[in-house]
Amino acid sequence: MIKIENLTKSYGDLEAVKQVSFNVEPGEVLGFLGPNGAGKSTTMKMIAGFLSPTQGRISVCGHDVESDSMAARKIIGYLPEGAPAYGEMTTAAFLRFIGELRGMSASNLEARITEVVRQLNLSKVLEQPIDTLSKGFKRRVGLAQAILHDPLVLILDEPTDGLDPNQKQEVRSLIQGMSKDKIIIISTHILEEVHAVCNRAIIISGGVVLADATPDELEARSRYHQAVTLVSPGAEDIASKLKGLADVSKVEVEGNQVTAFPKSGKQIFSQISTLITQHAWQVSEVQLERGRLDEVFRTITMKGGRS
């Protein structure tokens, strides 16, 4: 497991990460969310052992990343931001180089290369210099080097950046497939990704952890949580009727779309669907909202930014 205690990183007067503490257990896929410059990458760089913390401690499976750095690095696979690689090397030579530095035996290395090349669909570009590859392939080569030694801990800084929707999906299912016994930390800007792969999310802004919860819990914080949205030509008329319901706190109309918000802790979906049948409203769409992560994200990070 990863233990992070009171982690602080300052650059001169600027504190990029302030007193961050959290633990991550095997089986957890932790999504690291936050605006640009929030301290996500800095935190990940410190866990991976690239930067030294100004204060605080990080231990990875019992190995302190400062004092027992080599042991910690051996069990970590790391994809730095932008997936840097040695551009003049071919994909195959690059993976072999990484494996040799990781001290993998020749036979194990060949077997693992075959495996990650299959997992990430790299067979077409094995003999091509990395500089000549598309952004999506470069990112996948970066991922391949991170998972090459089948590490216990995976730290991926924006693993799906620059991938097309199909490739994003493939990478997400790859991460999910590996998540059973590993600790995975990914940072991302894409909120739908949090739902797709993470079972825990930390929102960080201004170097401070503002929220630490499951994606479902985060969605429950949204004002849209359990709200009902209808699409109908008679939106105004429907809105006035919905306002009469005891459990509805507020109704918003936008064009031909009506959203009714429940009072806290109340369920309004069944009442509304009864009304629809009773009044025979012409409704083309009814939706029970789970909560909008982007709205939660904005609320949390804007509040954190102001304080």
Partner 1 sequence: MSIINTLVRRELSSYFATPVAYVFIVIFLILSAAFTFQLGYFFERGQADLKPFFDFHPWLYLFLIPAVSMRLWAEERHTGSIELLLTLPVTLWQAVIGKFLAAWLFIGVALLLTFPIWITVNYLGDPDNGVIVASYLGSWLMGGGFLAIGSCVSAATRSQVVAFIISICLCLTMLLAGHRLVLDFFAAGLPQWLVDTVASISFLTHFESISKGVVDFRDLLFFGLLIGLFLYATTVVIEMKKAD
Applying CB under 8 A, the residues found at the interface with partner 1 are 11, 45, 48-51, 70, 73-74, 76, 78, 80-82, 84-89, 93, 97-98, 100-103, 129, 145
Cα–Cα distances (Å) from 148 to 4, 76, 105, 226, 228, in that order, read 25, 11, 12, 43, 46
Closest CA to 143 of 181, 117, 125: 117
Q: Indicate the residue among 90 and 226 with the shorter CB distance to partner 1.
A: 90
Rounded to a whole number of angstroms, the minimum distance from the CB of residue 79 to partner 1 is 9
Strand partners, 55: 8
For 22-41, letters b (16+ CB in 10 Å) and e give bebeeebbbbbbbbeebbbb
Q: Indicate the residue among 27 and 84 with the shorter CB distance to partner 1.
A: 84
Q: Indicate the residue among 93 and 253 with the shorter CB distance to partner 1.
A: 93
Q: Could you give the CA distance from residue 254 to residue 45 in angstroms, rounded to a whole number? A: 44
Q: Indicate the residue among 63 and 225 with the shorter CB distance to partner 1.
A: 63
Q: Indicate the residue among 96 and 182 with the shorter CB distance to partner 1.
A: 96
Rounded to a whole number of angstroms, the minimum distance from the CB of residue 45 to partner 1 is 7
Rounded to a whole number of angstroms, the minimum distance from the CB of residue 165 to partner 1 is 26
**Residues 235, 244 contacting (CB under 8 angstroms):** no
Q: Indicate the residue among 156 and 210 with the shorter CB distance to partner 1.
A: 156
Residue type, 102: R
Rounded to a whole number of angstroms, the minimum distance from the CB of residue 3 to partner 1 is 19
**Residues 78, 185 contacting (CB under 8 angstroms):** no
Rounded to a whole number of angstroms, the minimum distance from the CB of residue 8 to partner 1 is 14
Residue type, 124: K
Rounded to a whole number of angstroms, the minimum distance from the CB of residue 11 to partner 1 is 6
Q: Indicate the residue among 145 and 179 with the shorter CB distance to partner 1.
A: 145
Looking up tokens 């494996």, which residue turns up? Answer: 99
Q: Indicate the residue among 109 and 260 with the shorter CB distance to partner 1.
A: 109
Rounded to a whole number of angstroms, the minimum distance from the CB of residue 100 to partner 1 is 5
What DSSP string runs through 109-153? HHHHHHHHHHHTT-GGGTTSBGGGS-HHHHHHHHHHHHHTT--SE
**Residues 76, 48 contacting (CB under 8 angstroms):** yes
Rounded to a whole number of angstroms, the minimum distance from the CB of residue 211 to partner 1 is 27
Cα 235–chain centre separation: 37
